[in-house]
């Protein structure tokens, strides 16, 4: 069997859903298990509804537009237009509670944003049934996906494979499961983080012993750079799990960073494909690459990076200072990207979030802390680039020609990643310059 995951743009309207139906029908002999995201843009609308209801604004009009969007898709697909009315009524009740109390904690938010995937799965399954394909829509939590209780970043329990196997053994036909959402052991709806439908597909693929996990998007695969930045970016034939994980973590948006974890455990290949060009082979992600497939693969970037510089002269010749700093990061769940140390200072990068400010406040109790926001990070990824003679000098020459200064650098910690920080607004020029030097000459 294979797992097929379709993102929001792939199920964004009735035309897109029909296209997905054709893709699934062509793969029926491979026993597809389908995972879907919410209709494109719906998750953002649900977050907006949360904000409007908390602010006491007219959220009802926004909800009605959301209802109209799904009913229009159902009508165009010529299936029951009242199919998701029950979910829409449940959503309205939840929003009324949020508006009345003026509160929306993490659990309520996970419940709120779950409706996108739950409606999308039912719409696609109904379309498949209308096309004569035996199909059933299933909420992932009813298919055994049980997680811890952390809001917005839940992770599956250790025995999730056996839970999924038990829950799915009686399901027949093409299963269309919700991505992104799950439940904890107390029955509360949880979510795996934005983009978590990829992760959902990988979890189910590993649990059910899939021969391949397919991530269907609106691009031809993982690219040598973001095509919105580099016009000549091209799709990659192959990547290793490590390369794909690094690219995802450092800014590539094609695949969720956690997707590789279950696939690696079971050594299941992942293929990234384009719903608009289903015959294009896409990018195949494997555990091991042939020697000829190693080298520089892609350049990625991300913005709104914060640099935290911790200076503490008394840490000189002291034991435990780094552990003390790491303990603060851990308790406030601050994820560190790049880290550099000296005798009296530690510098690290992270994405600014709600947990960063209180973490910095505690760090200032025992050290001097300087914080710089709105930096941009560029990463060059590829197996064995550390062993490529002159590679670093090629990168630095491009930066020199662009008159760009590096603020922080990480190279050599792994064999596959060179990352550095540049100033606000500089990453695009750097990515284009590096792509021209590394891929276009």
The domain that contains 320 carries what CATH number?
3.30.2130.10
* 213 and 351 fall within a common domain: no
In the prediction, which pLDDT does 314 show? 60
* 102 and 210 fall within a common domain: yes
**Mean of pLDDT values over 274-287:** 94
* 59 and 197 fall within a common domain: yes
Residue 29 lies in a domain: yes
Alpha helices (runs of H) in 259-366, residue ranges in sequence order: 260-266, 321-331, 356-363
Residue 390 lies in a domain: yes
Q: How many domains does the chain have?
A: 2
> pLDDT, tens digit, for every residue of 245-262?
888 888 777 787 788 889
Helices 391-401/427-439 angle, 10° precision: 130
> pLDDT, tens digit, for every residue of 310-368?
887 665 556 677 788 889 988 888 888 888 877 677 888 888 777 788 999 998 888 88
108: its two tokens = 């309520």
In the prediction, which pLDDT does 56 show? 81
Q: Which phi and psi angles does 146 have, rounded to 5°?
A: -115, 135
Report the Cα 306 to chain-centroid distance in Å: 20
The DSSP symbol for 293 reads G
Residue 309 lies in a domain: yes
Predicted confidence (pLDDT) at residue 57 exceeds the cutoff of 90: no
* 207 and 340 fall within a common domain: no
* 305 and 206 fall within a common domain: no
300: left (phi over 0), alpha (psi -120 to 50) or beta: beta
Question: Which of 191, 217, 243 finishes a domain?
Answer: 217
Residue 131 lies in a domain: yes
Residue 425 lies in a domain: yes
In the prediction, which pLDDT does 315 show? 54
In the prediction, which pLDDT does 320 show? 73
* 66 and 192 fall within a common domain: yes
Sheet strand arrangement including 135-138:
135-138, 174-178, 32-36, 2-6, 212-217, 270-274, 283-286, 238-240
Report the distance separating Cα 8 and Cα 120, nearest Å.
9
**Mean of pLDDT values over 123-149:** 97
Question: Which of 217, 245, 273 finishes a domain?
Answer: 217
Residue 302 lies in a domain: yes
Predicted confidence (pLDDT) at residue 214 exceeds the cutoff of 60: yes
Share of the chain above pLDDT 90, in %: 68
In the prediction, which pLDDT does 335 show? 84
Report the distance separating Cα 203 and Cα 230, nearest Å.
33
Predicted confidence (pLDDT) at residue 286 exceeds the cutoff of 70: yes
Give the three-class secondary structure for 94: helix
Predicted confidence (pLDDT) at residue 440 exceeds the cutoff of 60: yes
* 28 and 157 fall within a common domain: yes
**Mean of pLDDT values over 32-42:** 97
In the prediction, which pLDDT does 333 show? 84
Report the distance separating Cα 97 and Cα 74, nearest Å.
28
Report the Cα 232 to chain-centroid distance in Å: 24
202: its two tokens = 């990988």
* 197 and 307 fall within a common domain: no
172: its two tokens = 């027949």
* 207 and 346 fall within a common domain: no
Check: CB of residue 418 under 8 Å from CB of residue 411.
yes
Residue 263 lies in a domain: no
24: its two tokens = 């699934």
> pLDDT, tens digit, for every residue of 81-135?
999 999 999 999 999 999 999 999 999 999 999 999 999 999 999 999 999 999 9
Helices 59-76/115-130 angle, 10° precision: 20
Report the distance separating Cα 274 and Cα 63, nearest Å.
31
- How buried is residue 222: exposed, middle or buried, by Cβ count under 10 Å (0-12/13-18/19+)? buried
In the prediction, which pLDDT does 318 show? 63
Question: Which of 202, 217, 232 finishes a domain?
Answer: 217
> pLDDT, tens digit, for every residue of 378-417?
999 998 787 788 888 999 999 999 999 998 888 866 678 8
In the prediction, which pLDDT does 413 show? 66
What is the pTM assigned to this prediction?
0.89
* 317 and 202 fall within a common domain: no
Q: How many CB atoms lie within 10 A of CB 5?
A: 31
Domain containing residue 114: CATH number:
3.40.1160.10
* 309 and 419 fall within a common domain: yes
Residue 226 lies in a domain: no
Is the CA virtual torsion 206, 207, 212, 216 positive or negative?
A: negative
Range of the domain at 89: 2-217
* 72 and 207 fall within a common domain: yes
**Mean of pLDDT values over 280-302:** 89
Is the CA virtual torsion 211, 215, 220, 222 positive or negative?
A: negative
């Amino acid at each position: 069997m294979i797992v097929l995951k379709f993102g929001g743009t792939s199920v964004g309207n009735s035309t897109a859903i029909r296209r997905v139906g054709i893709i699934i029908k062509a793969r029926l002999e491979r026993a597809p298990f389908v995972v879907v995201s919410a209709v494109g843009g719906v998750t953002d609308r649900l977050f907006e509804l949360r904000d409007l209801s908390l602010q006491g604004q007219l959220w009802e009009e926004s909800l009605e537009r959301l209802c109209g969007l799904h009913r229009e898709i159902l009508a165009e697909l010529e299936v029951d237009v009242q199919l998701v009315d029950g979910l829409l009524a449940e959503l309205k009740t939840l929003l009324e509670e949020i508006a009345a109390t003026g509160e929306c904690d993490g659990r309520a938010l996970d419940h709120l944003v779950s409706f996108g995937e739950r409606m999308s799965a039912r719409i696609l399954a109904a379309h498949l049934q209308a096309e004569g394909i035996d199909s059933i829509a299933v909420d992932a939590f009813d298919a055994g996906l049980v997680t811890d209780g952390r809001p917005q970043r839940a992770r599956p329990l250790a025995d999730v494979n056996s839970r999924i196997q038990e829950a799915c053994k009686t399901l027949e036909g093409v299963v269309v499961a919700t991505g992104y959402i799950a439940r904890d052991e107390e029955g509360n709806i949880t979510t795996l983080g934005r983009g978590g439908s990829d992760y959902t597909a990988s979890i189910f693929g590993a649990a059910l012993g899939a021969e391949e996990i397919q991530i269907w998007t609106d691009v031809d695969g993982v690219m040598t750079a973001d095509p919105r930045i580099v016009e000549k970016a091209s799709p990659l034939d192959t990547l290793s799990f490590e390369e794909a994980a690094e690219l995802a973590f450092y800014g590539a948006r094609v695949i969720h960073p956690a997707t590789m974890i279950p696939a690696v455990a079971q050594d299941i290949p992942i293929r990234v494909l384009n719903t608009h060009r289903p015959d294009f082979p896409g990018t195949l992600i494997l555990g091991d690459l042939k020697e000829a497939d190693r080298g520089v693969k892609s350049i990625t970037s991300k913005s709104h990076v914060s640099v935290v510089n911790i200076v503490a002269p008394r840490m000189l010749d002291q034991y435990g200072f780094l552990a003390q700093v790491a303990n603060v990061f851990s308790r406030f769940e601050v994820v560190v990207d790049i880290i550099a140390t000296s005798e009296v200072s530690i510098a690290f990068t992270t994405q600014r979030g709600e947990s960063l400010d209180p973490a910095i406040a505690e760090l200032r109790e025992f050290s001097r802390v300087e914080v710089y926001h709105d930096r941009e990070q560029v990463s060059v990824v590829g197996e064995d680039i550390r062993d490529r003679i002159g590679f670093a000098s090629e990168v630095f020459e491009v930066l020199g020609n662009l008159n760009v200064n590096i603020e922080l650098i990480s190279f050599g910690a792994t064999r596959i990643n060179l990352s550095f920080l540049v100033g606000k607004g500089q990453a695009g020029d750097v990515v284009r310059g590096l792509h021209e030097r590394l891929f276009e000459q």
